[in-house]
Amino acid sequence: MVVATSLADLGAFFTILGIVVVAGIIAYIGDRVGHLVGRRRMTLFGLRPRYTSTIFAIGFGMIIALLVVGVLLLVSNDARQALFSIQKLNEQIANLTSERDQLLQDPVVLRAGEPLSPAFIVNSTDSLPQIEDRLSLLFQGVANLSQNFPVQPYRTSPQSADAKAKIAQTAAYIKSLQPTPAIVVPVAGENIFRGGPWRFSLHVYKDSLLYRKGEIISSVMVNDGRNISTDQAALISLNTAISRSAADHGMPPMLADNPTTDPDVFNRAVTRLVATHGPALVKAIAATDIYASGPLNAELTVTPR
């Protein structure tokens, strides 16, 4: 992350430096042309020489501004978005702000099915008592999480009859999956309200192979690759489709919601789309063998249609 930030800062520095150099070259040319016009007392449209030199000075100033903006738009995707998509960005910011304000007023602390902690891998090849011990420790850890929220403390002990029965049932299911490991995700058992009881469940997923390397995860059709905004929207939609496909294949939603498509892969896909000058099919392909425990790593291919 530090390296990526440093490279981004370095890229911005060279962009600004390039703009300054271009502006300096144009200003120098404008100055030389102004001297030439002044010395030769040239006229334009029948105007006096001093007015002609003024027009040349203003014209080169406009050219400098246009070229600087052009260079900035050419090398900076952020600048293009800021200039051509500012209204859309403002609308998105307004919508997110409204959603945030609504959530702050919502008495619901956690919604049903929302993950309470990272996922845990439990080996189904372990003995049943070992699995039960692992689940008991997990049960106690999740119970203690109630202290971090404005809810009632969780008072059920892992040694209680009810807890033991649930742990034994979950352990037996995990054991039945052997030799495939299990993914255990603690989630809110129901909507948890401010000041209400702390209730949770342990969701179990089979850590099976979902996609082999090179297998298509999902795809999206782009009607006109020349429109960068449309291209980016299509790729964002594809990112959502990747998550949905992975969840449908058995990946825990909390893991499926985080595809790890490299930003460079995303940018290259946009470049290839623009170069197609027409409709194209974008496919998300498994970069490696992908298991339910992740990571959900995809490559993107662009095929003109």
**Is residue 279 in a domain?**
yes
Range 144-168 average pLDDT: 90
**Is residue 10 in a domain?**
yes
pLDDT surpassing 70 at residue 182: yes
Helix-, strand-, coil-residue percentages of the chain, each rounded to 5: 55, 15, 30
Domain end (from 207, 242, 271):
207
Domain end (from 207, 235, 250):
207
Give residue 170's identity as a one-letter amino acid code.
Answer: T
Structural domain range at position 189 = 110-207
| 24-70 pLDDT tens trace | 776 677 666 666 666 666 665 656 666 666 776 677 677 777 777 77
Q: Which pLDDT belongs to residue 210? A: 96
- CA dist 149 and 116 (Å) reads 11
Total number of domains in the chain: 3
Range 161-174 average pLDDT: 93
Indicate whether 184 and 225 sit together in one domain: no
Indicate whether 67 and 124 sit together in one domain: no
DSSP line for 114-154:
-B-S--EEE-TTS-HHHHHHHHHHHHHHHHHGGGGTTSPPP
pLDDT surpassing 90 at residue 139: yes
Range 210-220 average pLDDT: 95
pLDDT surpassing 70 at residue 74: yes
**Is residue 168 in a domain?**
yes
**Is residue 98 in a domain?**
no
Indicate whether 289 and 222 sit together in one domain: yes
Neighbours of 291 (CB within 10 A): 20
* Cβ atoms of 291 and 227 closer than 8 Å: no
Is the alpha carbon torsion for 71, 72, 76, 79 positive or negative?
A: negative
Indicate whether 191 and 219 sit together in one domain: no
Domain end (from 207, 223, 246):
207
- CA dist 158 and 139 (Å) reads 7
**Is residue 81 in a domain?**
no
**Is residue 80 in a domain?**
no
**Is residue 88 in a domain?**
no
Higher pLDDT, 16 or 270: 270
Among 69-78, 135-144, 253-262, 289-298, whose mean pLDDT is lowest? 69-78
Indicate whether 231 and 276 sit together in one domain: yes
